[in-house]
């Protein structure tokens, strides 16, 4: 009990102290500049995704993606949705790509199919790469993006073995989106 009151006082004071510091405008500017490397992926996309696990038949779905910026362009927000031939949603994912100016690294925080994680992302001139650790191996996704197409492949990369391709997605850009920045809750 003797620690309860100081803990409560601290929990009330910390948010106020953070607000009193104000925004880190240099960090915000660095994050906004970093997100421009991901600008080609922004918009609404649709196409096919084909996955195949070892020894199983191919599984083909209609895949959609919508990508926009958030928090004044400091984050890239992604929603992916996969539909079976009958229209049923069989895959639904949400991700946020952030940039840390202190480490100069990009991160994807992903939530999908009851799983979540934080994974490294490496933008390139033609798209991006991101990886999920899988024991001694990694699952590597490589995306190549043009103004009208997005092709992404997934490879299981194990030590001392050739990569095994298990995923391919081919999307066509449908247009722009103002999601998720638009239509916030009004002040009054």
Indicate the pLDDT class of residue 183, thresholds 50, 70 and 90.
confident
H-run or E-run covering 91: strand 89-100
- Is 52's pLDDT higher than 60? yes
- Comparing CA positions, the residue from 161, 168, 108, 111 lying closest to residue 135 is 161
- Averaged pLDDT, 21-34: 95
The radius of gyration of the chain from alpha carbons, rounded to an integer in Å, stands at: 20
In the chain, what are the domains?
23-175 (2.40.128.20)
Residue 159, helix vs strand vs coil: coil
Confidence of residue 144 (pLDDT cuts 50, 70, 90): very high
Let me know: does 108 contact 121? Beta carbons within 8 Å.
Answer: yes
Backbone phi, psi, residue 129, to 5°: -130, 140
Give me the pLDDT at residue 2, please: 59
Mean pLDDT computed over every residue of the chain: 92
Q: What is the pTM of this model?
A: 0.86
Q: Tell whether the model's pLDDT for residue 6 goes beyond 70.
A: no
Mean pLDDT over 102-120 rounds to 97
156-179 per-position pLDDT tens digit: 999 999 999 999 999 999 999 999
Tell me if 62 sits within 8 A of 81, measured CB to CB.
no
Sign of the C-alpha dihedral computed for residues 97, 103, 104 and 105 taken in this order: negative
Please give the DSSP secondary-structure letter assigned to residue 148.
S
């Amino acid at each position: 009990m003797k620690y309860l009151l100081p803990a409560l006082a601290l929990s009330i004071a910390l948010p106020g102290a953070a607000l009193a510091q104000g925004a880190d405008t240099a960090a915000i500017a660095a994050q906004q500049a970093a997100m421009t490397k991901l600008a080609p992926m922004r918009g609404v996309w649709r196409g096919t995704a084909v996955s195949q696990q070892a020894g199983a038949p191919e599984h083909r779905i209609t895949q959609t993606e919508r990508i926009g910026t958030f928090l004044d362009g400091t984050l890239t927000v992604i929603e992916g949705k996969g539909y079976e031939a009958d229209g049923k949603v069989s895959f639904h994912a949400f991700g946020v790509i952030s940039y840390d100016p202190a480490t100069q690294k990009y991160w994807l925080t992903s939530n999908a199919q009851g799983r979540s994680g934080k994974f490294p992302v490496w933008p390139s001139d033609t798209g991006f790469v991101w990886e999920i650790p899988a024991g001694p191996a990694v699952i590597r996704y490589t995306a190549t993006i043009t103004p009208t197409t997005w092709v992404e492949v997934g490879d299981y990369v194990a030590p001392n073995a050739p990569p095994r391709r298990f995923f391919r997605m081919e999307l066509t850009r449908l247009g722009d989106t103002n999601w998720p920045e638009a239509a916030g809750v009004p002040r009054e």
